[in-house]
Structure 1
């Protein structure tokens, strides 16, 4: 959840205000310290314009990754000479 929101450049406070939820509550939900009901999850997903499944999975969905993400195929390779010596 948090990775998608941050990738979109949306602050937690802005999201909370726009969907009518407490920022502390959303922070705990994003950090997996508290659960959220279906209503909040639907508001969150709708606001970010992503499918509900995109925010309920633990890993970043491939179509939501940022360029250069260490999780994506487009990550920069290590520079030459950084591959260790024999």
Structure 2
């Protein structure tokens, strides 16, 4: 089983089957953190998006829709990693 973490392989159909599990982990994370919702988390991540994008050397090579969804990717993948650890 392979899991895509981060923006680079988001469009790879072979890695898409894990997305439903990432959503499950996100829901589980938010259920434990009462008062937090996806919209609030995305708003906070958006504030750091510019800094986070600078961590990727070749982010300009990604499709614009991936860059547009970057905050959602960070939230989904980040909660997945936190919940799995």
> Is TM-score (shorter-chain normalized) higher than 0.5?
no
TM-score by length of 2: 0.28
